[in-house]
Amino acid sequence: MTEMRIAATVPVELGQRRYDISIGSGLLPNAAELLSGQLGRKKTAIVTDANVAKHHLETLLISLDAANIKHSAIIMTPGEATKSYAGLAEVCDKLLAAGIERKDHIIALGGGVIGDLAGFAAAILRRGVNFIQVPTSLLAQVDSSVGGKTGINSPHGKNLVGAFHQPSHVLIDLDLLKTLPMRQRAAGYAEIAKYGLLGDQPFFNWLEQNVEVVLDCAQGAVDHAVRVSCETKARIVTEDETEMGVRALLNLGHTFGHALEASTGYSDTLLHGEAVAIGMVQAFRFSEMQGLCAEGTADRVAKHLARSGLPTHVSSITTTLPAPAEMVEIMRQDKKASAGKLTFILTRGIGEAFIAKDVSDNAVVEFLKKDMQQK
């Protein structure tokens, strides 16, 4: 059996729905043992995608077989398009065909697409089935697998149909990142940097020293980055599970970023993390323009993100973007707009983000005119 090393266990304290995030290496080959407390009924269904299945499904199956846990696997087409009504119907019907009952567990083995889709299927199948997250992309390990937001996209927009459904365990095996393409690692890194930028300057300083080793998945560095990210997200989610307040800070760079993603059709032209990287730099530049934050801060953020290979300015987007006023309209349609006013996460410096609910459309349009012309 592969040697296992647990680097950290992060609790997510949500009363009766509390669960642990286990972070380490060699965890997938030992999954049945690690999940023995959960997989009591000896039956499970794995939802994954074809890319992840190729590299990692066999390892999980061997572990389950050794523990005599019956399993079936549902292998979906990789990509955002799978997070759809059709994808949901396919997963639900296959889970029912596999005889999954309320007390059984569904294992989501994949990136954020699989986690969101399988999690939502678990939330609604038989009015709620248990599920376990085994995130395989860096983005899923530091962000989407923690916090209980599940859902699919509608033709009206991203993540518009969903539910809060907490997993019963999150198993983060850092070894799985070794097969993740570098562009996807960088996209996940944007969310790691976000945790420093929103509220933890010492962590951002540490990232400035360690970005390359984190992206290289070097032991010691990647564990630290993933642990701090999960701890931060867990703390914020515990305080505000359903995003009535402080959880909105996690949207740093996302109001700008979502508008860019929507403008590029949620395609491979611009990955979510790439849009967030550009959006975070825009949030800092906008904060500078409003006199909230010292000049030069946005440049420091941009320089750092660029080292991970992330884009930091709209000029790196190859497709034509809508005009500034139209971009603001797109932001307005985002679910984060409430009662007509746009909510932005602005900042007074690195690690000092705050929720700004009264930003005028005009100020944003003026900023975008300036920002989109530069470079």
* Of 60 and 359, CB closest to ligand NAD: 60
Q: Which of 258, 261, 274, 288 is catalytic?
A: 258
Selected range binding ligand NAD among 7-15, 172-180, 298-306, 364-372, rule: CB under 6 A: 172-180
Active site residue 165: no
Active site residue 272: yes
Structure tokens at 254: 């996302």
Angle at Cα 31 formed by Cα 190 and Cα 47, nearest 5°? 65
Q: Is 290 exposed, middle or buried (0-12, 13-18, 19+ CB in 10 A)?
A: middle
> Which of 350, 349, 355, 352 is CA-nearest to residue 336?
355
Residue 139 touches ligand NAD, criterion: CB under 6 A: yes
Q: Which residue's CB atom is positioned nearest to ligand NAD? A: 112
Q: Using CA atoms of 155, 107, 248, 289 in order, give the dihedral in degrees to the nearest 10.
A: -70
Active site residue 191: yes
Within 10 Å of residue 57's Cβ, how many Cβ atoms? 19
> Which of 214, 228, 133, 231 is CA-nearest to residue 180?
214
Active site residue 326: no
Q: Which of 243, 326, 352, 366 is catalytic?
A: 243
Residue 30 touches ligand NAD, criterion: CB under 6 A: no
Q: Which residue pairs, CB below 8 angstroms and at least 24 apart, start in 57-61?
A: 57/109, 59/28, 59/29, 60/28, 60/31, 60/107, 60/109, 60/134
Residue 180 touches ligand NAD, criterion: CB under 6 A: yes
Residue 147 touches ligand NAD, criterion: CB under 6 A: yes
Residues 86-115 that bind ligand NAD (CB under 6 A): 110-114
Residue 144 touches ligand NAD, criterion: CB under 6 A: yes
Active site residue 149: yes
DSSP lists the bridge partners of residue 23 as 8, 172
Within 10 Å of residue 213's Cβ, how many Cβ atoms? 15
Q: Which of 247, 274, 285, 304 is catalytic?
A: 247
Residues 294-353 that bind ligand NAD (CB under 6 A): none
Residue 270 touches ligand NAD, criterion: CB under 6 A: no
Q: Which of 185, 272, 285, 304 is catalytic?
A: 272
> Which of 277, 276, 199 is CA-nearest to residue 239?
199
Amino acid at residue number 344 = F
Q: Which of 43, 185, 254, 304 is catalytic?
A: 254
Residue 25 touches ligand NAD, criterion: CB under 6 A: no
Residue 52 touches ligand NAD, criterion: CB under 6 A: yes
CB 295 → ligand NAD: shortest distance, Å? 31
The rounded distance, in Å, linking the Cα atoms of 198 and 134 is 26
How many residues interact with ligand NAD (rule CB under 6 A)? 30
Active site residue 30: no
Structure tokens at 81: 């398009």
Residue 200 touches ligand NAD, criterion: CB under 6 A: no
Active site residue 54: no
Active site residue 103: no
Phi, psi angle pair for 97, to nearest 5°: -60, -30
Q: Which of 90, 191, 261, 288 is catalytic?
A: 191
Residue 261 touches ligand NAD, criterion: CB under 6 A: no
Residue 149 touches ligand NAD, criterion: CB under 6 A: yes
Amino acid at residue number 163 = A
Residue 116 touches ligand NAD, criterion: CB under 6 A: yes
State which H helix or E strand residue 109 sits in.
strand 105-110
CB 159 → ligand NAD: shortest distance, Å? 5
Residues at the contact surface with ligand NAD, assessed by CB under 6 A: 49, 51-52, 55, 78-80, 83, 110-114, 116, 136-137, 139-140, 143-144, 147, 149, 158-159, 176, 179-180, 184, 187, 272
Residues with catalytic function: 127, 149, 191, 233, 243, 247, 251, 254, 258, 272
